[in-house]
Amino acid sequence: MKILRIEEVCRFTRIEEDVILRFVNEEWIYPKELVELGFDEEDLARIHLIEELRQDFGVNDEAVPIILHLIDQLNCLQIEIKKS
């Protein structure tokens, strides 16, 4: 699993560093490495999802954590179903 630094994430996602830092500060994403802000593929997917919700679907910032929470619950349920 490759860990990307924030500069690499910005280049890859074409999202400004201050926006990604805001996502971290809002606790919408949790970098794998907190000290140097290292992000993995899961973090990149979540960054893309958040930006898509905000830009493409017009979701306001108050609704983002609610949607993320619901998606996380669905993912947990899928894992539980696969186990049984």
Cα dihedral sign, 79-61-33-47: positive
3-state SS class at 61: coil
Distance in angstroms (rounded) separating the CA atoms of residues 68 and 55? 15
| Structural domain boundaries, residue 31 | 6-83
Of 40, 43, 44, 30, the residue nearest 2 (C-alpha): 40
Whole-model pTM?
0.88
Task: Give the CATH number, domain containing residue 23.
Answer: 1.10.1660.10
What pLDDT is attached to residue 36?
83
Is 1 among the domain residues? no
How many domains, in total, are found in the chain? 1
* Each residue's pLDDT expressed in tens, for the chain with a length of 84 residues: 799 999 999 999 999 999 999 999 999 999 988 778 899 999 999 999 999 999 999 999 999 999 999 999 999 999 999 998
